[in-house]
Structure 1
Amino acid sequence: MGKRPRERLREPGGQPGGQGGRILLGLCGPPGAGKSTQAAELTRILGPDTAIVVPMDGFHLATDLIRGTPLAERRGAIDTFDPGSYLSLLRRLRARDEDVVYAPSFRRGLEEPIAASIAIPRSIPVVITEGNYLLADAPAWRAIRGELDSVWYLEVSAAVRLPRLIGRHVEFGRGEADAAAFARGSDQSNADLIESTRQDADLIVVLRG
C-alpha cells in the first residue's frame, strides 16, 4: 500500500523538491472538497515551526469592488480573484530572503479578504497554499502552478461535497434555498472547471468524507 499524503510530506525522500530549502505545496479541489480542513490537519501534524497555511481565498476581490457588477453573483469564480498578487506573494515566499512575509487571509464571517493577517517567518520550511484554481490553464494561473513544488488534488464525492457546501453557506448567512441554489449553480460551474484540471495534479487524494 502506498504512503498516505501526510507521510509523503514528512519523509525527506518523499518531499516535493523545494528550492532554497522551502517547500511550497498546493492543495486543489472543488468547493467543499475539504481543502482548508486538510491543510490545517497537515499543518497540525507537521507542527507550527515547520508548516503554515496561506489560502488562495485571501486574494478574493473585495465585496465593495464587485458590488453592482455581474461578478457579485459569481463570487468564487476564477475571475473574482487577483492572481497577479497571489503570484507575487508566492515568489516572495519562494525567494525566502525576507525575515517575515505577510499574507492575506479570508474571513468567512465577513466574506472578505483581510490584508497582512498571516505572518510567514523565514524559518518556516513548508508553506501549504490551498485553493480552487491552482491547476487552471490560464496564463497567470500557470505561472502560479510553476511556483509550487507539488499540487495535490482533493477528490470527494458530490454526495458528500454538496451538503457540506450548502451547510457552509447557511452557516455564513444564506437562507437554505439560496444556499442550495448557489451551491448547485455558481459553485457547481466552478467545480466543473476545477474537475477538468484533475489530471494535471501530482497526486490525487481521494477523501471518503
Structure 2
Amino acid sequence: MQTKVLDTAAGLADRIRSRSADRQIIGIAGPPGTGKSTLAGRLSEQLGDESVVVPMDGFHLATPIIDGTPLRDRKGAIDTFDVGGFLSLLERLRRNDEDVIYAPAYRRGLEEPIAASIAIASSVKYVLVEGNYLLATEGRWSKVRTCLDVAWFVETAPETRIPRLIERHIASGMDPAAAEAWANAPDETNARFIESTKAGGDLIIHWSA
C-alpha cells in the first residue's frame, strides 16, 4: 500500500536499515526540482560508507547526439535518455557479481554526462538511484521498477520547485528570461508526466529542503 510521509533524512535512513538484504537498490523518483539529489545525498550521509548515490541523469543523451534534432528543445524529456544503458547498469547492480561497477554522472555547468564517474563496489549495501523516470511504464522503462527493491516518489510544491529550477538554469549559463521559459515549459511538461507515474511508488515523500 502506498503511504504518504513527511520525514527527515535520518528517519528515511532508518526505514532503509530496517529492511534485511545483502544489497538494497532504493529508487528516489520525482519531477525536476523536487530535491531528489539533495535527499539522496543526505541519505547517503546518514547511511555512511555502505551507500552510494547513482543518478539517472548520467544517462542523458550527450549534446552532439541531440543537437540539430527536435530532442534539443526537449532535453530532459523521457526520450532524451539512454534507457537501455540505464537498465543494463541497474541489472548489473542487481546481480552484484562484479568487484566494481562504474556508473556515469551528469556534470552541471558542462551539462553533459561523464562516463565511469561513480564506483560501486560489490560491498556497497545501499544503492540510492535517483531520477525523474524510475516509475515510468513506457516500453523498456517498465523494467526499471523491477530492478528496485523499493521506490519512493518525492513531492515538492510548485512554488518551491519552479523557482529552484530557474536558479539552476541560470547557474548553468542560461539568461534569466530563457531560464524562466524553460522551467515553465519543457520542465513543467516533464513534471506533469512524471507526476502521473507516482502510483508506482511505495512511498510518497513530502520534501521541502
TM-score when scaled to structure 2?
Answer: 0.93
Pairing 1:1-209 to 2, within 5 Å after superposition: 4=7, 6-10=10-14, 14-15=18-19, 18=21, 21-47=22-48, 49-209=49-209
> Contact conserved, 1:60 with 1:112, CA < 8 A, in 2?
yes
**Which shows bigger deviation, 116-125 or 5-14?**
5-14
Whether the 8 Å contact between 1:8 and 1:14 is mirrored in structure 2 is no
Residue 137 of structure 1 deviates from its aligned partner by 1.6
Unpaired stretches in structure 2, ≥5 consecutive residues: none
* Letter aligned with residue 192 of structure 2: D
Per the TM alignment, residue 109 of structure 1 is displaced from its structure 2 partner at its CA by 1.4
Write the letter of the residue equivalent to 1:10: D
Query: How many angstroms apart in 1 are the aligned matches of 2:13 and 2:146?
Result: 19
Question: How many residue pairs were aligned?
Answer: 204
- The answer to whether the 8 A contact 2:13-2:46 is kept is no
Distance 1:142 1:119, change over 3 A: same
Gaps of 5+ in 1: none
Matched position secondary structure for 2:152: strand
Q: Could you say what the CA RMSD is over the residues aligned between the two structures, in angstroms?
A: 1.6
Q: Whose RCO is larger (CA < 8 A, sep 6+)? A: 2
Aligned-residue sequence identity (percent) comes to 51
Q: What is the DSSP-based 3-state SS (H/G/I as helix, E as strand, rest coil) of the residue aligned with 1:124?
A: coil
Q: Deviations over 1:130-185 (max 9, x none)?
A: 00000112121110110001110000100000000000000010000000000000
Taking structure 1 as the reference length, the TM-score comes to: 0.93
